[in-house]
Structure 1
């Protein structure tokens, strides 16, 4: 008997394993009819999972924890039997702002502390000149992207939301926001940094891995009680995604991999933009050659294990961003979102 599952996703490279599970036939082989629904924002996706319009979703790990804790909306406990990637984000600013940063830099701009000090000098100069604050965006308030921005700014004593304005811009809208001048920079997952650079409006400053290697990112989220009520469905989808992971990690499959992601109902972006990202070759802009970043985004099996310790980093990020005051009870609830007992091989 075939089981139908409706899964929401956002158009990002890190939705890859869900897409490949469907498009390469791994879900079908597990007895699943997988219906994938592309969403326009993380809030839309979260809300549809909350009311069970989706069985499961490609979701920001911090958003799953926020929903479980009831922060920023209705409390809906979530469970994560599987992560979907680690890393894959980058910080991009407009070419004009990058050129200004470079003038203020007191060393190598590839060093996060150097670029942060340059940004602090720029912020101070703008304030002294009576200019409005810079505006940076992340894709959602409860996201690793917000917390990576906070980590970067903190290296020079800057506070996101105080010294620099903060906006939420969904991933597909980041390039337009940078082009229009609505924001001066953003942190988002691939391929939207590369898209901004390729249009000539953006310059990549850092990858997320420059700030925090093996950063928790997207997960496969279910409502917690569904994981308990429908263990067979959870295990079948997990098995299909693990098969997709093995396929995705074979370099020989990259051209076909990029083709799947480029489809109009997936990312709707050119193959020649996506393929270099899958090869970890990142456009930098501002006259610089592409940068090769080892394991820029991880889809390997080890990266997919749901690790309760990731909740500790996420809660620390929430606290640093002024979103919570951490308590032991909150830590216990957040760690319980990650369910290694559903991962093949268990929690060992």
Structure 2
């Protein structure tokens, strides 16, 4: 008997694993029928999940943590046993603003720390306090943007205006002059660049290599009540992720995502991100960024609890939550490596032996302990060289200049 599941998503390239699970038959092989519900905003997606209109959602990892901590509208205990991808974001700014930065856009992307300082200087030359679009207050890219700006002495709550708007409306808002730039998942940054109204300033993959991004989120109660269905879904998604990461499938995947029911943008724009080819300025050659968006390799789907705690550390840093041992434990528990291991125990996928690790400590491909098979973790450095130890969060936060 086929089990039907409704899963909400936003039109972004990193819905790939869900789309391919449905279109390539991976879900069907597990006895599942996926009804993927396209949604415009993260707030609507959040509510659809919380109020039971869908069983699962393609969700911003920090939003899953924030909802569980009671920071975002109706509190609810959410659980994330699977990551749908890492990285895939880009900060673009209006061409006029970008003109005040280093003239070579390739050099900008290669030196995020230097570009942050150029950006800080450009703020004083701009006609107003720069308005930067973010897709949600509790998004990985909003947290990375804050981290990046602060590295150059910019106070993201005082020196710029962060305006929330859905990813698909970012380009329109930039054209209309309502914002001066935005950070969002692909293909929306590339679409703005292609139109000639923006240039790339920074990419998420250079701010935190392999930084946590979207997760598959469930209501914790539903997850606990449906272990067998959950395991089938995770097995289907794991096979889908392997298919999505394979370079020979990128053209077919881009065509699939270009359909209106998924992303509804030109195939070539979508294919660029999948291939790791970033065009920083209209008409220029692409900059290779092979790790721009990952789905499967290096155990990408594994929900490291240390990454949930990095999110918690940023919420503390920006005064979005009061620190406590209990709150940290609650945040860490949103990520469910135990469910991931249970679901994929019978697969041939390499399985990390630990549930936490030092974040930002891997400079070159590193073989690590795995419960089965060989597992190599790729470089995960932060742009400023800091290392996040999930067992020493207070020390980590003490290393930053105090905020207002």
Normalised by the shorter chain, which TM-score bucket?
Answer: over 0.9
**Per-residue deviation at 1:101?**
2.3
User: In the alignment, which residue of structure 1 is the partner of 2:57?
Assistant: 57
1:225 & 1:22 partners in 2: Cα distance? 25
* Structure 2 counterpart of 1:298, from 294, 300, 319: 294
**Per-residue deviation at 1:225?**
0.9
Instruction: Work out whether 1:328 is the aligned partner of 2:344.
Output: no
Instruction: Work out whether 1:212 is the aligned partner of 2:211.
Output: no
**Per-residue deviation at 1:50?**
0.4
**Per-residue deviation at 1:323?**
1.4
Q: Deviations over 1:33-88 (max 9, x none)?
A: 11010000000000010000010000001000011010021110001111101111
With over 3 angstroms needed to count, the CA separation of the structure-2 counterparts of 1:210 and 1:347, relative to structure 1, is: closer
* Structure 1 counterpart of 2:168, from 172, 181, 186: 172
8 Å contact kept, 2:275–2:290: no
Task: Using the TM superposition, name which of 248-257 and 37-46 deviates more.
Answer: 248-257
8 Å contact kept, 2:108–2:202: no
User: In the alignment, which residue of structure 1 is the partner of 2:335?
Assistant: 338
Q: Deviations over 1:148-171 (max 9, x none)?
A: 111111121101121001101111
With over 3 angstroms needed to count, the CA separation of the structure-2 counterparts of 1:287 and 1:259, relative to structure 1, is: closer
Q: Deviations over 1:305-347 (max 9, x none)?
A: 1111111111122223331222111110011111111112476
Task: Using the TM superposition, name which of 244-253 and 228-237 deviates more.
Answer: 244-253
Tell me which of the two structures has the higher relative contact order, counting C-alpha pairs closer than 8 angstroms and 6 or more residues apart: 1
Instruction: Work out whether 1:242 is the aligned partner of 2:250.
Output: no
TM-score, length basis structure 2: 0.82
1:206 & 1:178 partners in 2: Cα distance? 17
Q: Deviations over 1:228-282 (max 9, x none)?
A: 1000111111011011011112211111111110111110111121112211101
Task: Using the TM superposition, name which of 43-52 and 88-97 deviates more.
Answer: 88-97
User: In the alignment, which residue of structure 2 is the partner of 1:25?
Assistant: 25
* Structure 1 counterpart of 2:184, from 188, 191, 211: 188
8 Å contact kept, 2:79–2:220: yes
1:123 & 1:56 partners in 2: Cα distance? 40
User: In the alignment, which residue of structure 1 is the partner of 2:108?
Assistant: 109
2:177 & 2:113 partners in 1: Cα distance? 26
**Per-residue deviation at 1:287?**
5.8
Task: Using the TM superposition, name which of 35-44 and 278-287 deviates more.
Answer: 278-287
- What is the correspondence of 1:1-348 to structure 2 with a 5 Å cutoff? 1-102=1-102, 108-110=107-109, 111-126=111-126, 131-285=127-281, 288-301=284-297, 302-343=299-340, 344-345=344-345, 348=353
8 Å contact kept, 2:205–2:291: no
Which SS does the other structure have where 2:154 is aligned? Answer: coil
Which SS does the other structure have where 1:188 is aligned? Answer: strand
Which SS does the other structure have where 2:124 is aligned? Answer: helix
1:215 & 1:81 partners in 2: Cα distance? 17
2:232 & 2:78 partners in 1: Cα distance? 18
Unpaired segments ≥5 residues, structure 1 = none
Unpaired segments ≥5 residues, structure 2 = 346-350, 354-404
8 Å contact kept, 2:89–2:185: yes
**Per-residue deviation at 1:174?**
0.8
Task: Using the TM superposition, name which of 332-341 and 284-293 deviates more.
Answer: 284-293
1:347 & 1:236 partners in 2: Cα distance? 20
Whichever structure has more helix as a proportion of its residues is 1
